[in-house]
Amino acid sequence: MKPTMIGLVKAERKAGAVLMELPVPEIGPDEVRIRVKASSICGTDMHIYHWDQWAEENVVTPNVFGHEFAGIVDGVGSAVAGIRPGDSVSAEGHIVCGVCRQCRSGNAHVCPHTRSFGISAPGCFADYAVTKAVNVVPNDPALPFELACLQDPLGNAVHAVLSGDIVGRSVAVVGCGPIGLMAIQVAKAAGAGRIIAVDLHDYRLDMAGRLGADHVVKPTGDARLSRTLRELTGGEGVEVGLEMSGSASAINELLEAVANGGRVSLLGIPSREVPIDLARHIIFKGLQVYGITGRRMYRTWHQIKGLLDAGRIDLKPLVDRTFTLDRYEEAFALMGSGQCAKIVFMHA
């Protein structure tokens, strides 16, 4: 009889998830099996859990979801070298082909043949996860699992912040969920000028202030966010806009607020198509617009390690709640409320 494990499965193409008993995944020659010790909920997981248009178009079912994790190597394939059982590790979530033009020119994070951990390949909301050995990232054994599992989203923040010049520039972080909060710390560590945090939730704005934002803004129905951002920058507009919310209105307000010649990094995933005025907001303003997906492989991971090792980033304040996997409904409800930063599942 094959050994089994517990996993959180997106079993049907509708809202919700199911905790199921599943076979422990077997290991291929070039793969590594990891005993998951901690995993965390991402904004992408919220899209999957609530099943919006983006999820309908991108997610494979049935499938264990979740892609942010840390754990201990349980077994390695016959062709794997340099990774041993007992190693403390995390993993890059993009499983790429390695041979296309993008992979061979330093842009593997946008490989057109990508399979995504927890989206189109089995993920980490389970007792065990299997991934390619080339995707495994070693962790300092002293780094607690509940912090080590946050390196994936920290990589999103690093990628977004450092996709262009940041030193001395005014920055607006629109959407202060966990990655937005991380982006504030990264921008500050990288020498940004004035940092403005924008969110609808007082809880997250309070945390944004504690993590280094110079101004916090809670949009209201009467006041245009773009006008507020321009007022806070002497009428010039922000030089760097980091869009982390995926809100259609927030995207358009940020594009309106960014100064001519500025830069925008778009990371938030809209739940549906977003109409924008290309001529007014991008072309005639001369904006640089970057789509941020995942992390640069593996440059961003090395930047993450450097920031953590130097003590420039503190992940501890972000983990304000932990749950066991069987309490997933409570965890996802809390995540949706905005009254938290990062929610972590602690595994046995």
* Rg of the Cα atoms in the chain: 20
Buried b or exposed e, range 152-170, using 16+ CB within 10 angstroms: bbbbbbbbbbbbeebeebb
- Cα 100 from Cα 113, distance rounded (Å): 8
Edge-first strand listing for the sheet containing 195-198:
215-217, 195-198, 171-174, 238-243, 258-266, 288-291
Tell which residue, 173, 138, 126, has the closest CA to residue 7. 126
Provide the 10 A C-beta neighbour count for residue 42.
24
CA distance 280 to 337: 35
| Closest C-alpha among 164, 186, 152, 184 to residue 265 | 164
Q: Which residues of 53-75 are buried (b: 16+ CB within 10 A; e: fewer)?
A: ebbeeebeeebbbbbbbbbbbbb
Residues with catalytic function: 44, 47
Place of tokens 């995707």: 135
Strand 31-40 relative to strand 128-132: parallel, antiparallel, unpaired?
Answer: antiparallel
H or E element at residue 183 = helix 178-189
Residue 203, SS3 per DSSP:
helix
